Amino acid sequence: MCVDMASIMSPLESKVQTCGPAADGSTARHHRRKAAEVPSASPAAAPDTVLVVDFGAQYAQLIARRVREARVYSEIVPSTMPVAEMLAKNPKAIILSGGPSSVYAEGAPSLDSAIFEAGVPVFGMCYGFQLMATALGGTVDNTGAREYGRTALTVTKQGSTLFAGTPEEQQVWMSHGDACSQAPRASPSPRPPKWSRSRPSNATSASCTAYSTTPR
Ligand SMILES: NC(=O)CC[C@H](N)C(=O)O
């Protein structure tokens, strides 16, 4: 099971607007009004920033857009960007996107583990999650089968931080051939993160959805 694409995509569809020019100039007025609603940065108050680290998933853009729809400034950065540079942007949280690679493959994109020790919450999905699990001592293997497409997800864990406020039954889209067969046991960090793990109830293997680290 991979990313909860339903929760990323569905609200987008309902927000698509057509903005054709009107003879009375109403489109221009509409745009001015929308612009005023968008939170803007001022030198006095820098906006909260959520970084989306792009590992090659087509939906990295969707992740960033959903964060912005939650009225939080979001920036997509390449996974090759040095972690120090990411942290220099002073992010409030970091999201690791999915990607087509396998973490155990030669030349697969990697990430400096320093990112998990910086005191910034990190959320990983799909490839980002698998990279995170591996970096923190877990194991990711090939399942021997590729699974792709629409899937029903049931949130079974009560009080899950990751799924708080989302429906118990959800439709998601998955695309994976790897799975986390063993979760990290302990954090390498002197200040251990609080783990939050989510797994769909219908998963036949330990193909976890996502991990997040929350600094205490
Ligand atoms: N959706 C993804 O990010 C896929 C990650 C990984 N390549 C897998 O097949 O499991």
What was the ipTM of the complex prediction?
0.97
User: For residue 174, which atom of ligand 1 is closest to its CA?
Assistant: 1
Domains and CATH numbers, the chain: 47-182 (3.40.50.880)
Cβ neighbours for 165, distance < 8 A, ≥ 6 positions apart: none
128: left (phi over 0), alpha (psi -120 to 50) or beta: alpha
pLDDT at 2 over 50: no
- CA–CA separation, 129 and 133 (whole Å): 6
User: For residue 98, which atom of ligand 1 is closest to its CA?
Assistant: 3
Q: Could you report the per-residue pLDDT of 138-189, keeping only the tens digit for each? A: 999 999 998 899 999 999 888 888 888 899 999 988 899 999 999 887 554 4
Percent of the chain clearing pLDDT 90 (strictly above): 52
Q: How far apart, in Å, are the Cα atoms of 172 and each of 7, 10, 24, 133?
A: 8, 10, 42, 21
H/E element holding 97? none
> Between residues 186 and 66, which one has the greater pLDDT?
66
65 lines ligand 1 (CB under 6 A): no
Ligand 1 geometric centre to CA of 129 (Å): 9
Ligand 1 geometric centre to CA of 147 (Å): 10
pTM score of the predicted model: 0.71
